[in-house]
Structure 1
């Protein structure tokens, strides 16, 4: 009888250790997946605007770092339209970004990218999906609530870097702008997009 009890105790102890090891592996895996978001301001943007975008991002992803402002690389300027090429900006930022980091460039300048047959289409933001770099501009945003709209553009592009596609939900930050500025209609990530980002270590108070 004593031998049976001892055997039961050994089995329980083994199961407890096994569960503990599994939890440890899961926790370690989560920590490895966690990235640091880098905010890269260009020298044209106001510091207070960067601060507000930073605060907004930190509400849903606390691991954020603001870098010192830099000049645009010369090859990003598109003289014919007095714009900056978003794809060239992203390529530059991507080269400067190591594994474990995602970077977003912030600017007030007009930015553009090729869209279908249109060689130089003006946009508010662009991001690799998935990827390590994206860029957001407040050039095309409304004056009255520009900071709020700018945050929504930034969080949208960061969502793309995490692998999120455009969302059909009209209230979701990930909706397709379709050449317009629908940010005033956007209120939050939808439940599906939130669940996706939670698996990427993003934090939300509710879903």
Structure 2
């Protein structure tokens, strides 16, 4: 009888983890890294390597043009929300698309119609976009992966985090990436429940 109980327990555990599912019921989405415009292939490859350290499924697409209708001529920028809509149309079931751009991007924030941003992602969502334009201006290109993880965190459903050292903190118009060390324990647990693998 004892052996039968152990066998049934093992079968139950295996069935809960079938096809990438766990008892949490979440399945890891494939992260599709999508370079936009003239985004450098080597930088995109570095981003893929960074994501793979904390996420099991990542693919890199060939570059595509920035959507012409997303261009905001008065400020010589691309509207991030418009880019996201285009990228979301490319997302297949079980995937999330992250666009990478060198050009300046913006969105509407509160009463500011055209607010320049490093990235934008809705929570939850099927797509997000990140630009290193402002990072290059402030010589912080090596911090791009944190912005990428931040926006991917939003697409999984994470809001901004009040902890100053957490990758999910709100930049509030600044570039505080040097202060951001990692996901806090709460945000890390949330993402790991969605099949990320953050140590």
Instruction: State TM-score, norm by structure 1.
Output: 0.89
| Cα distance in 2 for residues equivalent to 1:167 and 1:103 | 23
Partner of 2:86 in structure 1? 92
Do 2:166 and 2:184's aligned partners in 1 also have CA atoms closer than 8 Å?
yes
Is 2:5 the partner of 1:15? yes
Partner of 2:102 in structure 1? 108
| Cα distance in 2 for residues equivalent to 1:171 and 1:104 | 23
Deviation, 1:204, is 2.3
Q: CA 1:182–1:32 in 2, change beyond 3 Å: closer, same or farther?
A: closer
Partner of 1:55 in structure 2? 49
Do 1:76 and 1:86's aligned partners in 2 also have CA atoms closer than 8 Å?
yes
Gaps of 5+ in 1: 1-10
Is 2:21 the partner of 1:27? no
Number of residue equivalences: 195
SS in 2 for 1:176: coil
Q: CA 1:145–1:64 in 2, change beyond 3 Å: closer, same or farther?
A: farther
Is 2:161 the partner of 1:171? no
Partner of 1:64 in structure 2? 58
| Cα distance in 2 for residues equivalent to 1:99 and 1:32 | 14
Partner of 1:8 in structure 2? none
> Higher Cα Rg: structure 1 or 2?
1
Gaps of 5+ in 2: none
Partner of 1:186 in structure 2? 180
| Cα distance in 1 for residues equivalent to 2:15 and 2:5 | 15
Higher relative helix content: 1
Deviation, 1:69, is 0.2
Do 2:90 and 2:97's aligned partners in 1 also have CA atoms closer than 8 Å?
no
Cα-to-partner distance string for 1:113-157 (whole Å, 9 max, x where unaligned) = 011111111111000101110000011114575332111111100
Superposed counterparts of 1:33-52, under 5 Å: 33-52=27-46
| Cα distance in 2 for residues equivalent to 1:107 and 1:32 | 30
**Structure 1 segments of 4+ aligned residues over 2 angstroms from their partners:** 11-14, 29-32, 142-148
